[in-house]
Chains A and B, each alone.
Chain A
Amino acid sequence: MSAILPPSRAIWWKQPLDRVEGTWIIIALLWCLIMFFMMPYWHVYGKQNTPSEAYRITPAAFQAKAQEVVDKYTVRTEGEGQYPVVKPPAGSDIYLIGRLWQWWPIYELEKNQTYRLHISSMDWQHGFSLQPDNINLQINPGYDMVVTVKPDKSGTYAIICNEYCGIGHHTMVGRIYIK
């Protein structure tokens, strides 16, 4: 019987599988398993994995840590003096603040060096979107997200905010230099 009527056989679960269905279920299941194991595989052999290290932190405490790095390693300012350009030593912990509506400060990093990039928001949620490389992370207030990052191409990168954060959202842009 058709799909809008009760099944014609009372014991419908004993009706054998159609051959087309059986073939497809096996193939589809195999594909599903491949996709599933691809994720742990990439954790072992891939170089781009989602960061899972994070700490709870207050905006004030995070700001203080960022300020410390800025005070120590600022080399110049840009953007009409609003943005210190900070050149921290390779391998160090660096702090990026997202707030209404800027990413602060500007970092100047060395190519092929690893940094522990901490990102947090001072107010609402923000989206860290590194362009043109297209790395996207969700930034929550109250959480210190630690991204171990190794820039492998030199150039000037922009950080766009891609989580809607109010009327100035589209003006929220930051910068990272890789030398």
Chain B
Amino acid sequence: MANTTEYRICPDSGLQFHKPAETLMKANAVAAVVFLLIGGILALLVTLTRWPAVHLLPADSFYQALTAHGLDMLIFWIIFFEIAVLYFCSSTLLRCRLATPRWAWLGFALMLIGAVTTNVAILRGRSSVMMTSYVPMPAEPVFYLGLILFAVGALIGCFVFFGTLVVARAERTYEGSIPLVTFGALTAAIIAIFTIASGAIILIPTFLWSIGYISYIDPLMYRTIWWAFGHSSQQINVAAHVAVWYAIAAIVFGAKPMSEKVSRGAFLLYILFLQLASAHHILVDPGISSEWKIFNTSYAMYLAVLASMVHGLTVPGSIEVAQRLKGYNKGLFEWIRKAPWGNPIFSGMFLSLIIFGVLGGISGVVMGTEQINIIIHNTIYVPGHFHATVATGTTLAFMALTYFLIPILFRRDMILKGLAKWQPYIFGLGMSGVALFLMGAGTLGVPRRHWDIGLTGNVLGYEFPGSAYLLLGLAAISGILAVIGGGAYILITVGSLLVGKKLPGREYNDKPTALKMPIATAIEGHGGIGVGGFAAPGTLIFAFIFLALFVVYYAINWKYLSSVWPLS
């Protein structure tokens, strides 16, 4: 209950922060950025090693750096940030107190201890097993232990989020249904529960195996359950960053969902079907029936893909409607030309959406097609794909949200605004290059997680085509650009927190306040806008262009598959 001076209204946004929630958001966001920094330094080392002309690290350090890079980025950076997002979407958006802050701190502590433990295990050099740690290749027991602690901490964070939803409902801090963005966060949290449970089911026995209590873990069982954790953790990201897209559309434009029903329905499809995608990783494993593969790899008839295609339309669609209502109603594309491209909150979010959809989405569906996986599995195409989805889609969306949170949550004026304007473009361009060129090299058969594609010293040997080397070089140059973009983000964020001008409005009151209109004024209805009876015709045209690319690329891959040796 609100018994002390615990609430602050942000004078710029009208958002209300509960003090314990605010401190927890800050702590989680800062921890996230620290792991992004570590992961980013490792990214540079990995990039410079996979650039054949540079080949920086020796083999053992390369595999070690790659293991840490994967975990620091895909798990630690992202999930710390997501916990902050969960607290924001519950306590802040619902204007209520955070449930059980002490438990939330315990969760944070466990996550931190776990993340540090796993990093130390990797640093000791006997746990270079990659993020996936496939049995029976062993890591040190503390490697698994760290992951388990981290997962338990994240689980506590999810339950604090659920508890906060209950508190808000019980204390009637809002009327009607929860906001769409909170619904998206709820989707992410539900997926997180499934993810963490899968992680526990497989990592706890693996930990017991590593200390000798269990004699054998079936590798195929491990792969099946591990991916229910590994892939689903990336589906938390999808749900979370789509929620962030909607949030930023609302914050910057006052955009409202085109229809609540469609957007919420799409999130519901995520809850029901997204996790089936774990099957993507075992399409060319032994002994799995084609019926199982087809059903699962397609999320039951691609219903989760449908959901993403819907979000990909409704987010820009809602922006288009908002812009048209503001008067940018000329022709098909005035709304997008007149969008605030110099505002990193918007540009980061919009680049995230485009790159996630076009590069990440299309490649993901293509490589997850049962038979096409034969020409893609474990090639460097795979990291190409997820550098479009997670490294650009999720990361860029979170970066954009950070630019909003620096003044609102931390009450600091952002420093280096000129650099911030460019940061999403530098990072987005760099990471798109990484994604595209790695996918290209993967199409030529270049393996992932591989120190030397020259295969020097092997008596049998193999020469990859010169174009593969060219593509890896281009990927590395793009990677350096992405690291510069990521470095700029860290510089701006950390710099603003340390030396940014303190903004007024830091006082706390003793009561939660009722709803006030935040940020950009929300719009109502879409009468009298658009072209030809369509409220958002420009977005629909973008969607058709996307679909055309999708169809063409899908067909090309079947053609390519038909050229390899017949097999079954």
Decide if A and B are genuine partners: yes
List chain A positions with a Cβ less than 8 A from chain B.
1-10, 12-13, 15-21, 23-25, 27-29, 31-33, 35-36, 38-40, 42-43, 46-55, 78-80, 82-83, 106, 123-125, 127, 129-145, 147-153, 158, 160-167, 169-171, 173-175
New A-B pairs, 8, CB < 8 Å, besides A47-B566, A163-B378: A18-B259, A21-B258, A21-B259, A123-B136, A125-B134, A136-B379, A149-B565, A169-B449
**A28, A53, A144: the one within 8 Å of B306 (CB):** A28
| B92 (CB) vs chain A CBs: closest residue | A4
Contact with A along B273-297 (1 / 0, CB 8 A): 0000000001111111110011001
- Checking A49, A125, A174 against B460 with a beta-carbon cut-off of 8 angstroms, the contacting residue is A174
Report the separation of the CA atoms of residues A142 and B220 in the bound assembly, to the nearest whole angstrom. Answer: 9
Q: Does B103 contact A (CB under 8 A)?
A: no
Please tell me if the beta carbons of B286 and A50 are within 8 angstroms of each other in the complex.
no
How far is the CB of A112 from the nearest CB of chain B, in Å? 10
Closest chain B residue, CB of each to CB of A123: B136
Bound complex: CA A163 to CA B237 (Å): 25
- Are A28 and B310 in touch, CB under 8 angstroms? yes
The reply to whether A52 and B290 form a contact with Cβ atoms under 8 Å apart is yes
Cβ–Cβ contact B176 & A10, under 8 A:
yes
- Pair B180/A3 contact, Cβ less than 8 Å: yes
Among A3, A19, A53, A161, point to the contact of B250 (Cβ < 8 A).
A3
**Contact across chains for A4 and B310 when beta carbons are under 8 A apart:** no
Complex-state Cα separation, A170 to B55, whole angstroms: 13
**Contact check: which of B219, B376, B453, B567 meets A142 at CB < 8 Å?**
B219
Contact yes or no, A137 B462, CB < 8 A? no
Given A8-B524, A38-B369, A54-B286, the answer on whether A25 and B60 have CB atoms closer than 8 Å is no
CA distance A148 to B566 in the complex (A): 8
Task: Find chain B residues with CB under 8 A from A9 CB.
Answer: 176
Find out whether the CB atom of A24 lies under 8 angstroms from the CB atom of B551. Answer: no
Q: Is the Cβ of A33 less than 8 Å from the Cβ of B176?
A: no
Q: Footprint of A on B, CB under 8 Å?
A: 59-60, 63, 93, 128, 130, 134, 136-137, 174-181, 218-220, 223, 246-247, 249-251, 254-263, 282-290, 293-294, 297-298, 301-303, 305-306, 309-310, 313-314, 317-318, 365, 369-371, 373-379, 443-445, 447-453, 455, 457-462, 464-465, 515, 518, 520, 522-524, 526, 533-537, 539-540, 543, 547, 550-551, 554, 558, 561-562, 564-568
From A39, A143, A162, B220 is in contact (CB under 8 Å) with: A143
Task: Check A166–B137 contact: CB distance below 8 A.
Answer: yes
Do A2 and B371 touch (CB < 8 A)? no
- A142 and B460 contact, Cβ closer than 8 Å, known pairs A2-B255, A5-B515, A148-B568: no
B551 & A31 in contact (Cβ 8 Å cutoff): yes
Q: Known contacts being A6-B177, A49-B371, is A140 close to B550, with CB within 8 Å?
A: no
Q: How far is the CB of A175 from chain B (nearest CB, A)?
A: 5
CB atoms of B250 and A50 under 8 A apart: no
**Whole-angstrom CA separation of A15 from B257 in the bound complex:** 11
Give the distance in Å from the alpha carbon of A83 to the alpha carbon of B314 in the complex.
59
B298 touches A39 (CB 8 A): yes
Contact A132:B375 (CB < 8 A) given known A2-B255, A79-B459, A138-B285: no
Asked if residues B370 and A39 are in contact (CB atoms below 8 Å), the reply is yes
CB contacts (< 8 Å) of A143 on chain B: these are 219-220, 286-287
Within 8 Å CB of A33, what residues of B? 301-302
A16 surroundings in chain B (CB, below 8 A): 259
User: What is the CA–CA distance of A148 and B567 in the complex, to the nearest angstrom?
Assistant: 5
Are B178 and A3 touching (Cβ within 8 A)? no
A131 to B321, CA, bound (A): 50
Chain A residues contacting B526 (CB-CB under 8 Å) are 18
Q: Which of A32, A152, A174 has the most CB of B within 10 A?
A: A32
Closest to B175 in A: A6
Q: Which residues of B contact A79 (CB under 8 A)?
A: 459-460
A7, B180: Cβ atoms closer than 8 Å: yes
For A4, A23, A42, A82, which residue has the most chain B Cβ atoms within 10 angstroms? A4
Cα-based distance from A27 to B175 in the complex (angstroms): 35
Q: Which residue of B lies closest to A143 (CB)?
A: B286
Contact residues in B for A23 (Cβ distance below 8 Å)? 534, 540
Residues of B within 8 A of A137 (CB): 284, 374, 377
